[in-house]
Structure 1
Amino acid sequence: MKTNVKMKALKCAFPHTIPIMTGFLFLGMSYGIYMHVSGFSFWYPMLMAMTIFAGSVEFVCVNFLLGAFNPLQAFIVTLILNARHIFYGISMLDRFKGMGWKKIYLIFGMCDETFSVNYTADIPKDVDSGWFMFFVTLLNQIYWVLGATLGGLFGSLIMFNTEGLDFVMTAMFVVIFLEQYLKDKNHLSSYIGLSVSLLMLIFFGADNFMIPAISGILVCLSVARKSMEEKEKDIV
């Protein structure tokens, strides 16, 4: 009986993850190749994908591993990059009630894409919602781990010049920024981020500007919050 419940949930969850599979396999392989050309064995991207499972943080971790030991910077950057997960968790509190041991894994594996599916999916009444969300989470992580591992393995087979491949991380964040910029009607937050980052880069240099920039952006956004909310209302 339990097996039938799980299989029904798996069959229902899989179609929802197909678009995520294509993206995760491609980006995961890019990450694995990036790790390889940075001097790391395929074990690194595989284990990091299994234990960290946060794409943007995993890309940033390459620089952490290659640079000087700075746990404070690693903690602050990771916290800022994944602060949005706090709100994801709050939104899923009611849905995770009564999940038992599955709740622990659902919390761990709640990336952006998994949250989007589990929060918005119209789960059929005859499908167990707990197992549905579990398999969505598990499948998405499998895609990411598989992509990262294949990238790490195939990286050694690449014969062409991979110089500049580390720009994939920069390109990823640029795309995220542009998508957010095009989606928002009020671009004040974008201008604040760009201006503060440029100023901190000038004052502190490329190796030390990240934490001051993040701190400065948070302060400026906090000060400009009311003005931004009023402009947003006027636009709507």
Structure 2
Amino acid sequence: MNKALLLTAFKATFPVLFGYIPMGMAFGILFNELGFHWIYATLMATVIYAGAGQFMAVGLLANHAGLMEVAITTLLLNSRHLFYGISLINKFKTRWWRKFYLIFGLTDETYSLLTGTHPPEDKEKTDFYLLITAFNHSYWVIGSTLGAILGANISVDTTGLEFTLPALFMVLAIEQYKSVRESRPFIMAGAVAFVSIWLFSRDNMLLMSIMLSIIILLLFRCVQKPGKPQKQGAL
């Protein structure tokens, strides 16, 4: 693996770096308030690696939720990754531990980078995807660890940290638009998000938006004239 590829992947993950570190720290601080040793925050970030799921786990653990409740809630929350995985089947052309890690490390932000950036050389696609996934994973682990250690030793005010994740999504959306240069997918995404938040609760908005988007894309594909080439857009 050459240094140029390593540097390119690192630069591509810069927006995630500045989002995951403070968000990971916020999780670590909140997790520390439950009375657990900081090493457990690191283990959760390393083995579970689910930002929203880990924040949800803080609330569930604080309320002494049962194992079945935790399992069902986590499954529903992360079910959106099923749709991500289907769209990346043709990208993950590798086997064994590499494919397993790419699947394990697939987050919202990593998905955005994998679909919006391109490796320097086609033959190095898998290495490039692995590097992006590993960099993003390491940022989350570092942030969670720092937050747990700081929370155990000093008093930290986390007010405003919740804004870092929406800001990160905005940056990634802009980067995707620069890469795709096609406005229709983004207009459709905005319209679907508006309808979902209007018709459904905020807790179910993301999952319903994904489902509505898939239905619209399938309908668009069905009415499209046979033989007409499809224009590539953002995933």
| TM-score by shorter chain over 0.5 | yes
> Alignment partner for residue 25 of structure 2, among 14, 26, 29?
29
Of 115, 133, 137, 1:119 maps to 115
1:106–1:134 contact (8 Å) kept in structure 2 = yes
Letter of the 2:200 counterpart: G
Q: Counterparts of 2:124 and 2:95 in 1: how far apart (Å)? A: 11
Greater Cα offset, 116-125 or 139-148: 116-125
Residue 27 of structure 1, CA deviation: 0.6
CA offsets 1:154-188 (integer angstroms, 9 cap, x no match): 1123246x6xx6x889x56x969xx8xx9733634
Match of 1:185 among 173, 180, 191: 191
Of 77, 90, 93 in structure 2, the residue corresponding to residue 81 of structure 1 is 77
How far apart in 2 are the matches of 1:11 and 1:47? Answer: 27
Cα deviation, residue 189, structure 1: 2.1
AA in 2 matched with 1:190 = I
How many residue pairs match? The answer is 197
Matches within 5 A, 1:224-235: none
| 2:141 maps to which of 117, 139, 145 | 145
Give the ranges of 4+ consecutive aligned residues of structure 1 lying more than 4 Å apart after TM superposition: none
What 5-or-longer segments of structure 1 have no aligned partner?
Answer: 198-212
Residues 29 and 150 in structure 1, CA contact (< 8 A), matched pair in contact too? yes
CA distance in 1, matches of 2:130, 2:31: 29
**Structure 2 residue identity aligned to 1:192:** L
Q: Give TM-score, length-normalised by structure 2.
A: 0.70
Describe how 1:1-236 pairs up with structure 2 within 5 A: 5-125=1-121, 128-159=124-155, 184-185=190-191, 187-194=194-201
| 8 Å Cα contact 1:6/1:131 also seen in 2 | no
Instruction: State the shift of 1:127 in Å.
Output: 5.9
Question: d(CA) in 1 for partners of 2:195 and 2:12?
Answer: 35
Equivalent AA in structure 2 for residue 116 of structure 1: S
- Amino acid corresponding to residue 108 of structure 2 in structure 1: D
Q: For the Cα contact (< 8 Å) 1:30–1:168, is it kept in 2?
A: no
Computed over aligned residues only, the root mean square deviation of the Cα atoms, in angstroms, reads 3.7
- The aligned counterpart of 2:174 is none
Tell me the alpha carbon deviations over residues 20-62 of structure 1, each in whole angstroms, 9 at most, x when there is no partner: 1011001111111111123222112111000110100001111
Flag the structure with larger Rg: 1
Q: CA deviation at 1:115?
A: 1.1
2:225 paired residue number = none
Query: How far off its partner does 1:64 sit?
Result: 2.0
